[in-house]
Chains A and B, each alone.
Chain A
């Protein structure tokens, strides 16, 4: 089983829609969680950290469910510019120096 698993998509949704992705992780002792965004042929960039109580940044909401070992990302009122691949990232407690990436979920917003 992969340490971090994501639905690869692609998710193809109309502009203005709400879309959500989940990411599951296998190590119950994992400590830090993030969502990164990667545009085509570019480097990944941090979208937001994921905190235990959940957090929001504008149209983006991230949540952590430790009991079920998953994190989620919700995008409201999606824009064309949200089209990208979204990468789930986890730092395992036992290897705090490493970060583990999911394979990414492709999102395409259509006009």
Chain B
């Protein structure tokens, strides 16, 4: 059982480049979310989705877009990468709100 799969695991971008971080889950979970984790700051919510076709902003949405066209996939797009977006990104899924969150292995992104 794959659970939550994130790709890529590592990425280096130049300032101004765009890219998409992929996230897929095979547990038929309705809820999916993206977090970034910076040293000493814990996990901060970027965007989340409560089902296909529904997305909403989290705590730090600026510079990121998401879409949820299927239950399984929740890609995160960086529109124009900036050094401040250097971070570790985690995708998570939950069966419903208030239940256990399952995380992908993370994407370590460096913007130079």
Chain A residues in the interface with B (C-beta under 8 A) = 8, 31-32, 34, 36, 41-46, 49, 87, 89, 91, 96-104
Q: Which of B41-69 contact A (CB under 8 A)?
A: 41-45, 48, 50, 56, 58
Contact status B100-A34, CB under 8 Å: yes
Instruction: List the B side residues contacting A100 at CB < 8 Å.
Output: 45
Contact status B42-A87, CB under 8 Å: yes
Q: Residue of A at shortest CB range from B90?
A: A43
Q: Residue of A at shortest CB range from B35?
A: A101
Q: Residue of A at shortest CB range from B100?
A: A46
Interface residues on B, range: 20 to 34
Contact status B105-A43, CB under 8 Å: yes
Tell me what chain B mostly uses at the interface: helix, strand, loop, or mixed.
Answer: strand
Number of A-B contacts (CB under 8 A): 54
Q: Residue of A at shortest CB range from B97?
A: A96
Taking the nearest CB of chain A, how far is it from the CB of B101, in angstroms? 6
Contact status A103-B104, CB under 8 Å: no
Contact status A97-B103, CB under 8 Å: no
17 extra A-B contacts, CB within 8 A, seeds A31-B98, A87-B43, A99-B94: A43-B103, A44-B90, A46-B101, A49-B100, A87-B42, A96-B97, A97-B31, A97-B48, A97-B56, A98-B48, A98-B58, A99-B33, A101-B35, A101-B42, A101-B43, A103-B40, A103-B42
Q: Residue of A at shortest CB range from B30?
A: A97
Complex CA–CA separation, A79 to B99 (angstroms): 28
Taking the nearest CB of chain A, how far is it from the CB of B87, in angstroms? 13
Instruction: List the A side residues contacting B104 at CB < 8 Å.
Output: 43
Instruction: List the A side residues contacting B44 at CB < 8 Å.
Output: 101
Complex CA–CA separation, A31 to B99 (angstroms): 11
5 A-B pairs with CB atoms under 8 Å apart are: A8-B40, A42-B106, A44-B101, A49-B100, A103-B40
Q: Residue of B at shortest CB range from A33?
A: B98
Taking the nearest CB of chain B, how far is it from the CB of A18, in angstroms? 25
